[in-house]
Amino acid sequence: MRLADKVAIVTGSGQGIGKAIVERMAAEGAAVIVNGRDPEKIQAVVGGIMRNGGTALGVRADVTRRSEVRDLVEAALKAYGRIDILVNNAVARRRAASFFELTDEDWDVVLATGVKGVFNCIQATARHMMDRRYGKIINIASPSGMGASDSLTECNANYAAAKAAVNQITKTFARELGPYGINVNSLAPGSIVTAESLTKRSIEDARKHDAQRRKLTVLGRRGEPHEIASVAVFLACDESSFITGQVVLADGGRTDYI
């Protein structure tokens, strides 16, 4: 197992891509901290991991609140004595809207979770990693942070700004933490099919959306959460020890970003 004896915090891991990542890391031998803001979802994921023989701890925390992030890190250290891996996956819910339709709340909520939350978690966790001179930090980004799409459902201005900021945070922290043996990378998934994305749409709308997204990849299909989880495990294990400060795209060859 590639993550045996490692300890990983995965924010926003009560559902979707985060859930897939935390489950895969547990399967690869890591003791995982499942995080989110919904206690029921957290405990459901923890229960599933433990039933499959994994080691997991659920900790509710809002990553936009520094005090709660501190409690999250302290809970991990109290339970397992170390933190080897941090995956910043938490993201705020957003609505499709043009630039001129965005409200202050639209902007603030997305940027608070997507940027401030990443900063809070890295700052709190990296101090411990620096002391141990080892760590793997993975920030979940998006192709939206690298170019503009004509699809409002995938590239709101607030979401694109947040993900672009994540990529710059990744590069900055990679420089600062590299001398301490800490790797910092962004992982940018393309259009991924999750249970949550399907339940938000009617069957007809879901089929239309899926067909549109499939046409935009050279592979002719959308991705699955487990495919993103596989890349996250690679970036979290020692096989990727010479990779840092990078934005790793896992998008099926998206063709609509300019």
pTM over 0.85: yes
Nearest to 34 by CA among 97, 91, 87: 87
pLDDT tens-digit readout, 116-138: 999 999 999 999 999 999 999 99
Domains contained in the chain, CATH given: 7-250 (3.40.50.720)
Q: Three-state SS string across the chain, please?
A: CCCCCCEEEECCCCCHHHHHHHHHHHHCCCEEEEEECCHHHHHHHHHHHHHCCCEEEEEECCCCCHHHHHHHHHHHHHHHCCCCEEEECCCCCCCCCCHHHCCHHHHHHHHHHHHHHHHHHHHHHHHHHHHHCCEEEEEECCHHHCCCCCCCCCCCHHHHHHHHHHHHHHHHHHHHHHHHCEEEEEEEECCECCHHHHHCCCHHHHHHHHHHHHHCECCCCCECHHHHHHHHHHHHCHHHCCCCCCEEEECCCECCCC
Pairing of strands 31-36, 55-60: parallel
Q: Which sign, positive or negative, has the C-alpha torsion 193, 198, 200, 205? A: positive
- Known catalytic residues are 159
| pLDDT confidence of residue 133 | 98
Higher pLDDT, 21 or 152: 21
Residue predicted with more confidence, 2 or 219: 2
**pLDDT band at residue 93 under the 50/70/90 scheme:** confident
The answer on pLDDT for 96 being more than 90 is no
Tens-digit pLDDT profile for residues 197-211: 544 544 445 455 566
The highest-confidence range among 64-78, 83-97, 156-170, by mean pLDDT, is 64-78
**Which of 4-18, 28-42, 121-135, 138-152 is predicted with the least confidence, judged by mean pLDDT?**
138-152
